[in-house]
Amino acid sequence: MASSLAVAQLSGRTSGKAVGVVLLLTLALPYLPPSAFSSPPLRRAGSEAAAFASSAASTFDPSKPITFVWFFGYLGGHFFPADQLSLTPEDLINTASSLSTRVGGSGNLALVTAVAEPRTIPSTAYPAVTSYVASLHQYAPLVLGRLDLNRYNATSSPTVYDEMAKFVTTFNLNGVAFDHAIAYYTSVGQMAFNGMMEKMHDLYPGIYFILNDARAEPILPTAGTTWANQTYISSSVSKDSYDTVDYNAIVNLNEVWNGRVLLRLDAYAKVSGSPMGVFADQSNETEISAVQYLVNNGTIYNYRFLYPIVGGWTFVNSTYGGTLYNSLSKGNYARGTFPSFMQTMQGTSKLTVTSETTTGTVITGFWTELHDQTGTVLASGYTPFTYPLNNGQTYIVEVDGYGSCAFDHWLDTGNTNNQRNVSVTSDTSLTAVLNCNT
C-alpha cells in the first residue's frame, strides 16, 4: 500500500471548502467596552493574597511535550474572566488543577495569556497578579503573559525590555506570547528583530516565547543567535472557518521551526469571520469535533494545538458580544466543552520504525504507513521513520517488503503479520525484520 500524503488536499471537514490561505489577524487584542478600565481592579493583599499561593510548584520536564491552552486572566489591572464571565481567580486555579491532572503525567502544561497589558497594569494590582501567577504555578510549569509588539518593542517607551523585566522578575511569568510579531518583523527587518529577541533571551535565558506568524515565508532566526531554541511559532485556522487550515503553511513553518509550531483559533472581536468567533457560534458537538480533528491532524503535520479553555475573543456582534470564550460549565456563556477538550489532551510520544535483515544487519528505505483504526492512512515514509502519536491512542503501523526483501516478522514479538496495533505512552521503537534473498 505504497502511498504518499498530499498536504494540499486536507480542508475543513464540514464546510467542503478548499484549503484556505491562513490570514494573520491578531492573537489577543480584545474588544474592550468603554467601562473596561474604569471599574476598580479585582485584587487581594496581605495574608489573603498569600493564601492564594503555595510553596509547591509544578516542575518542567524537558523530555515531555507541552500542552498549550488559552487561559486569559489579568488584562491591565482587571481580571477579565470575572468582568466578562463571572469567573473568579479561584475558578481558573481549580481549572488549572484539572488540566494538570490530565496532562501532568505525560506532558507539561502551558497557560497562555495569564497576564497581558493592553494598558499598563497599575502597581496597586501587582500583589494580586503575582499571587495569581504563583497559584497557577502549582499546576503549570509554564505560565505565559502576552505583549503587543506594536506597542512594546525595542524603541517604544516603555520598551519591551522594561515590560519583560516586570513580567519575569515581578510577576514570575515563564514567557511571553508576542502579538503582531510578523508585523514588527516586517517593519524593522530580520537583523533588528533578531537583535531584540536575542537581547531578551540573554537577559532571561529560561524564558519561552510565542510569535504569531502565518506567512508563506516564516520569521527567520539569524546565524549565531540562540533565542529561537525556546520559541514557538503560532499559525491560525483560516478566516471564516473553524477547522480549515492551510497545511502547506504549516509545512513551511516546520522547515524552520521543526516541532515548535502552534495552531490557534485566531481571535479578534471586531473582525467578522475571525476563527474564534466562527468557532464559538457552532454547537457544542461541532466545537468538540473540531478540536478533536485539529488535534489529530497535529500528529500528522507536526504542530501543537492551542486549546481555547478560557479565551480567545468571540465576535462582538454575536450572541457572546465579544466576550472571552468560556469552555467551562459555570459562569456567563458557559459552553461545558472543557471535559471533552481535556479528553483530547493525551500528550504525544514518538514512534520510530526501523528495519533490519534476519541476520541483524540494519537496512533502510522500506515503506511504512501509519493507519487509524478505520484503516485510513495518517502518515507514511521510508525506514527509519518517526511518527508523532497521541499517547494512549491505538494505531496500526505497517512495513512492506520490496524487491528481494520480504517482510518476515517484528523483532520484539516474532509476529509475521506486517501490520500491527500500537499504542504508546512514551517514545518507542519498533523494528521490522526482512528476509532478503541475495
Dist. CA 210–CA 232, nearest whole Å: 5
Span 218-237, pLDDT tens digits: 899 999 999 999 999 999 99
Q: Are strands 66-71 and 307-313 parallel, antiparallel or unpaired?
A: parallel
Cβ count within 10 A of residue 285: 10
What cell does 393 get? 491512542
Domain coordinates in residue numbering, the chain: 11-343, 348-436
Beta bridge partners of 212: 234
Identity (one letter) of the amino acid at 320?
Y
Span 33-68, pLDDT tens digits: 333 323 333 333 333 333 334 345 788 888 778 899
Dist. CA 253–CA 213, nearest whole Å: 9
Span 158-200, pLDDT tens digits: 999 999 999 999 999 999 999 999 999 999 999 999 999 999 9
| CA-wise closest residue to 211 among 147, 273, 271, 164 | 147
Angle at 90 between CA 87 and CA 95, to 5 degrees: 80
Please report, in tens digits, the pLDDT of each residue of the chain (438 residues total). Answer: 332 222 322 333 333 322 322 233 333 333 333 333 233 333 333 333 333 343 457 888 887 788 999 999 999 989 999 999 999 999 999 999 999 988 876 678 999 999 999 888 999 999 999 999 999 999 999 999 999 999 999 999 999 999 999 999 999 999 999 999 999 999 999 999 999 999 999 999 999 999 987 665 689 999 999 999 999 999 999 999 999 999 999 988 998 998 899 999 998 888 889 999 999 999 999 999 999 999 988 878 889 999 999 999 999 999 899 999 999 999 999 999 999 999 888 666 789 999 999 999 999 999 999 998 888 898 899 999 999 887 778 899 999 999 999 999 999 999 999 999 998 877 899 999 999 986
**At 373, phi and psi to the nearest 5?**
-70, -10
Span 331-359, pLDDT tens digits: 999 999 999 999 888 666 789 999 999 99
Is residue 72 within 8 A of residue 113, CB to CB? The reply is yes
Is residue 114 within 8 A of residue 133, CB to CB? The reply is yes
pTM of the model: 0.73
**What distances in angstroms separate CA 285 from CA 289, 290, 396, one per listed residue?**
6, 9, 27
At residue 265, the 3 state secondary structure works out as coil
Domain 11-343 in CATH: superfamily?
Aldolase class I (3.20.20.70)
Say what the pLDDT of residue 291 is.
94
Is residue 244 within 8 A of residue 15, CB to CB? The reply is yes
Say what the pLDDT of residue 345 is.
84
CATH number of 348-436: 2.60.40.10
Say what the pLDDT of residue 268 is.
87
